[in-house]
Structure 1
Amino acid sequence: MTDVRGVSRSSLASLREQIAALPGGSSDLIALGGELFAVTSLLDGQPSLRRALTDPARTPDERAGLVASLLRQHVSQAGVDLVSSAVSAQWSRVRDLVDALEYLGVLTSVRAAEEAGSLDDLEDQLFRFARLVQGDVALARALTDRTIASSRRAELARTLLQGKAAEVTVRLVEQAVVAPRGLSFTEALDTYAKVAAEWRRRLVATVYTAVALGDAERARLAQALRRQYGHDVHLNILVDPGVIGGVRVELGDEVVDGTIASRLDEARRRLAG
């Protein structure tokens, strides 16, 4: 979602600053995120409009004016301002504009969670719901089957999470159900969680352990990983009975395996060698 290069990178950085400066409460930011997702869907479905809004033959003011005429009756002024800024910027590829708008929708939702003091909850809830769906074939099919109307699938997601997750989590899960944009459902949720972590400039580690970790153990592990990687690390803990002693930590492409099973495997390899 943020894998952009060249001039697109500087344009996206400028838009991030606008998101950081947004006023308003959590509910206003959630609504704004929904508007940005709606514009993303609109542009996904209309290639000619995408081209018009990135046409270098038009001046930035002309492109912004086109956006205002199209959207002012349908979205808030904050939404018009953000999309106008996006189309006024320069993009290396036409597709980068649409990807940026989706990213801004997610980032605005992250800001909403931050304003509500529930950013940790958002990351945890996205991760855990993704794992729940990943482990339940019937549920995954019900949420992702394109022969079922997207509104029905979104309603199922909302029903499952209502009263159990923050409103911003529910809205992002609905977005992953309705418009994953080339990603699987779980990939979309994991991507949203990574945006939340990047917003706070911290890494995300998935920790596999045979038993649940206490608060003190989680804190020690997070501190050790912070010393090793030089960044704050958010821990997603998965209890896996298959883990024999110790913990297994996956952070990006790196794996830190401190389980008894891994040490036994290493000992066997050495003996065999």
Structure 2
Amino acid sequence: MHAASRATLDQLSASLDSVLTGSDEAAAVGAQTGADLFEIVELLDDNRDLRKTLVDQGYPSDRRVGLVETLLSGQVSATALATVSAAVRSTWSDTRDLRNGLIELGRRALLRAAAAQGQKDRVGSELYQLARLLEKEPELEMLLADRLASSEDRRGLFAKVLYGKVSSITEALALQVVGRPSDRPVEGLDAVCDFAAALDGKTVARVRAVAPLSEAQSQALGQKLEKIYGSAMSVHSEVDASLLGGAVIRVRDEIIDGSTAGKLEKLRRNLA
């Protein structure tokens, strides 16, 4: 995202947080705002001329806001309308930055709602597990990434997979990812998982272990990684019996391979 757009998004994020954080109605308002912002993105995706007009600095800001209010008044929540009005009054480098900015604000609102419900950790874990599910089911991921299929069909397919298995907020976040994917669905889900952790000032540690980690083990590992990387950690793990023993840990782009399989492979290379 360009610098001007990032500055705008930072301001809008702070404003949205001030509305949602600490409010008695944060859960309901955040969930509705997030859903509405995703719907507004859909509207922009389907209307190229509207997107261009809303970022055109040659078009008076009051008229841009008036256009948004005419289109959306009575159709979305007051918080969503205020957020979008502030967005189009501000400066964006291009239509892509406006679109991505509204998506990030929608995700932010939903995750603030999850925090207000005491479900933030659950949502982060569910997003991580969904990404791992798609890694293990490449045919499903291929269908969800099929750009020849309509966004409604992709969402409908994934909704059937998710039904009754995840929280409503996780479902909303995941369906937005597959609706109009800009990356592989796995990468999109991992990006939202990272974003969820970052809202709490944390970094995601992705762990593959030969056996499930207990809560105590996850906490101890998180504390050790925090000392190494200088950041609080959100530890997500999965079982991988192929490791034979130990674990493989990925933090950002760095991999720590402490698995038995990894040690054997290193020994083979040294003997070759």
- Pairwise same-fold verdict (TM > 0.5): yes
Contact 2:203 2:234 in 1 (8 A): yes
Q: 1:269 to 1:16 in 2, by over 3 A?
A: same
Letter of the 1:229 partner, please give it: Y
Q: What's the offset of the Cα at 1:138?
A: 4.6
Contact 2:141 2:186 in 1 (8 A): no
Q: Counterparts of 1:28-107 in structure 2 under 5 Å?
A: 28-107=29-108
Letter of the 1:187 partner, please give it: E
Q: Deviations over 1:161-210 (max 9, x none)?
A: 33332110111222223232x22222221122121111111101111111
What residue in structure 2 maps to residue 5 of structure 1?
2
Q: Distance in 1 between matches of 2:243 and 2:216?
A: 20
Q: Distance in 2 between matches of 1:263 and 1:153?
A: 41
Contact 1:157 1:170 in 2 (8 A): no
Q: 1:185 to 1:56 in 2, by over 3 A?
A: same
What residue in structure 1 maps to residue 209 of structure 2?
209
Q: How many residues align?
A: 268
Q: 1:149 to 1:99 in 2, by over 3 A?
A: closer
What residue in structure 2 maps to residue 173 of structure 1?
174
Q: What's the offset of the Cα at 1:248?
A: 1.0
Q: What's the offset of the Cα at 1:77?
A: 1.6
What residue in structure 1 maps to residue 120 of structure 2?
119
Find out whether 1:251 has 2:248 as its counterpart. no
Contact 2:197 2:204 in 1 (8 A): yes
Deviates more, 1:262-271 or 1:115-124: 262-271
Letter of the 2:226 partner, please give it: R
What residue in structure 1 maps to residue 15 of structure 2?
18
Letter of the 2:3 partner, please give it: G
Unaligned runs of 5+ in 2: none
SS at match of 1:22: helix
SS at match of 1:205: strand
Q: Distance in 2 between matches of 1:45 and 1:149?
A: 12
What residue in structure 2 maps to residue 262 of structure 1?
262
Q: What's the offset of the Cα at 1:150?
A: 4.3
SS at match of 2:42: helix
Q: Deviations over 1:128-175 (max 9, x none)?
A: 122213312454355455666544543443343333321101112222
CA RMSD of aligned residues (A): 2.0
Q: What's the offset of the Cα at 1:33?
A: 0.9
Q: 1:235 to 1:15 in 2, by over 3 A?
A: same
Q: What's the offset of the Cα at 1:51?
A: 1.3
Contact 2:41 2:103 in 1 (8 A): yes
SS at match of 2:220: helix
Q: Distance in 1 between matches of 2:41 and 2:168?
A: 21
Contact 2:55 2:93 in 1 (8 A): no
Contact 2:209 2:246 in 1 (8 A): yes
What residue in structure 2 maps to residue 227 of structure 1?
227
Contact 2:31 2:110 in 1 (8 A): yes
Letter of the 1:210 partner, please give it: V
SS at match of 1:21: helix
Q: Distance in 1 between matches of 2:265 and 2:157?
A: 44
**Amino-acid identity (%):** 33
Q: What's the offset of the Cα at 1:257?
A: 1.3
Question: Normalised by the size of structure 1, how large is the TM-score?
Answer: 0.90
Q: Distance in 2 between matches of 1:269 and 1:185?
A: 34
Unaligned runs of 5+ in 1: none
